[in-house]
């Protein structure tokens, strides 16, 4: 098996493992945060956070103590876990998971757990055996809000692939083409570049396709998903996003694409049209770009995300879009931006209740959109706040706001 692991590489033979220095830094930061909260340890078990802290999402439990010791207990696959952890350079030990009855004695402490994300039956199995009562979910979420230079590099690489996805949409689109044909072309680019097949979501029961393309009236159809855009989807079990609606002349086609590079999300929306946008839709788009600029300006100043929401909402209402911002009643969403990283719905959010700034190193998709019964329109780009302020990771104005077929 060890020889076979050398084939686990990127498309050009690159080593696509998380650098050991990243894993070590993340574990040390978590240990420090645990100590500050007076917690002995954290038991990391969600797939996303196993990847974040241990380098892979094997069936395992990672114990990180406040003293800085880390041990990865693996049910399956031990050999892959060792390889993905960095082999001999791993910052943590990698060992087989002991019998559950012996696990408490093996770890010698009472760790906190991710009660905020784990299924209840799974969490309760460990909590009852280990007498666990403390929750470390928010500690982990807070740490992951700030991206490292390496993580930002992953997102920049994702943005390059995403630009090619938009080019693929342009190449196959036009009057009479279905939404699902368009999204298939975009997803082929994403998949060929290494996307693993799942957009990770934090909140149950949200699920998301990596491409949501809605044409004309389909853009006004709501869904279960907490977002401005619903769409028909192809059938009731996949009741969101692109379906079999055909593009008609001069109707807005909203193209909202997500790509993940080595797990890291970028999220961008642009408008397409077979012909030209009617003036009313062009004006609506320009208004949403203005709202986007207002939100970015507030975040750029280091002001609270909730303040960015209130200012963006007030401007949208002033422009006459209050009843259609981020959906139509009773299905309006109450946000204008969401943080992204290894998950699509990270924190903070440009919404009421997030009375804190986007941190330095925070990454956020800012997406003001308006929805009417005959279509939807808006813009979206993924941004990072660095020492100089807000800057786009994705195209911002480099990809036209509207592309005509």
Q: What is the pLDDT of residues 30-40, one digit of tens each?
A: 999 999 999 99
Q: What is the pLDDT of residues 166-185, one digit of tens each?
A: 999 999 999 999 999 999 99
What does the pLDDT read at residue 210? 67
**Both structure tokens of 26:** 């993340």
Percent of the chain whose predicted confidence (pLDDT) is above 90: 84
Instruction: With cut-offs at 50, 70 and 90, classify the pLDDT of residue 230.
Output: confident
What does the pLDDT read at residue 372? 96
What does the pLDDT read at residue 238? 76
Q: What is the pLDDT of residues 142-156, one digit of tens each?
A: 999 999 999 999 999
Residue 3 has pLDDT above 80, yes or no: no
Residue 276 has pLDDT above 90, yes or no: yes
What does the pLDDT read at residue 4? 67
Fold of 149-404: Creatine Amidinohydrolase (3.90.230)
Domain boundaries, given as residue ranges, for the chain? 4-144, 149-404
Tell me the mean pLDDT in the region 151-163. Answer: 97
Q: What is the pLDDT of residues 76-119, one digit of tens each?
A: 999 999 999 999 999 999 999 999 989 999 999 999 999 999 99
- Predicted model pTM: 0.95
Mean pLDDT of the chain: 94
Tell me the mean pLDDT in the region 276-295. Answer: 98
Q: What is the pLDDT of residues 290-324, one digit of tens each?
A: 999 999 999 999 999 999 999 999 999 999 999 99
- CATH H-level superfamily of 4-144: Creatinase/prolidase N-terminal domain (3.40.350.10)
What does the pLDDT read at residue 396? 76
């Amino acid at each position: 098996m060890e020889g076979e692991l050398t084939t686990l590489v990127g498309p050009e033979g690159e080593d696509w493992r998380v650098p050991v220095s990243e894993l070590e830094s993340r574990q040390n930061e978590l240990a420090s945060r645990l100590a500050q909260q007076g917690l002995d340890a954290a038991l990391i078990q969600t797939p996303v956070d196993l990847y974040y802290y241990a380098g892979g999402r094997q069936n395992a439990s990672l114990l990180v103590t406040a003293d800085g010791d880390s041990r990865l207990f693996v049910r399956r696959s031990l050999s892959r876990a060792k390889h993905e952890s960095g082999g001999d350079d791993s910052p943590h030990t990698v060992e087989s998971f002991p019998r559950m009855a012996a696990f408490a004695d093996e770890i010698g402490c009472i760790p906190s757990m991710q009660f905020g994300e784990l299924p209840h039956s799974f969490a309760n199995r460990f909590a009852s055996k280990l007498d666990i009562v403390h929750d470390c979910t928010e500690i982990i979420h807070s740490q992951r809000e700030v991206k490292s230079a390496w993580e930002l590099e992953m997102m920049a690489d994702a943005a390059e692939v995403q630009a090619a996805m938009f080019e693929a949409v342009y190449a196959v689109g036009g009057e009479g083409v279905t939404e699902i044909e368009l999204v298939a072309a975009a997803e082929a680019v994403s998949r060929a570049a290494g996307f693993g097949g799942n957009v990770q979501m934090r909140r149950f029961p949200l699920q998301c396709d990596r491409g949501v393309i809605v044409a004309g009236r389909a853009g006004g159809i709501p869904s279960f998903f907490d977002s401005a855009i619903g769409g028909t989807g192809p059938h009731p079990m996949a009741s969101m996003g692109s379906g079999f609606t055909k593009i008609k002349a001069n109707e807005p086609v909203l193209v909202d694409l997500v790509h993940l590079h080595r797990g890291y999300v970028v999220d961008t929306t642009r408008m397409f049209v077979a012909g030209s946008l009617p003036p009313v839709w062009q004006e609506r788009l320009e208004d949403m770009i203005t709202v986007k600029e207002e939100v970015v300006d507030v975040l750029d100043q280091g002001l609270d995300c909730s303040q960015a929401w209130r200012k963006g909402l007030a401007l949208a209402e002033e422009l006459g879009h209050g009843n259609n911002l981020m959906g139509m009643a009773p299905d309006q969403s109450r946000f204008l931006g969401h943080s992204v990283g290894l998950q699509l719905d990270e924190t903070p959010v440009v919404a009421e209740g997030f009375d804190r700034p986007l941190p330095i190193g925070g990454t956020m998709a800012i997406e003001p959109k308006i929805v009417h019964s005959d279509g939807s329109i808006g813009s979206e780009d993924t941004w990072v706040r660095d020492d100089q302020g807000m800057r786009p990771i994705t195209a911002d104005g480099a990809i036209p706001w509207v592309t005509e077929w």
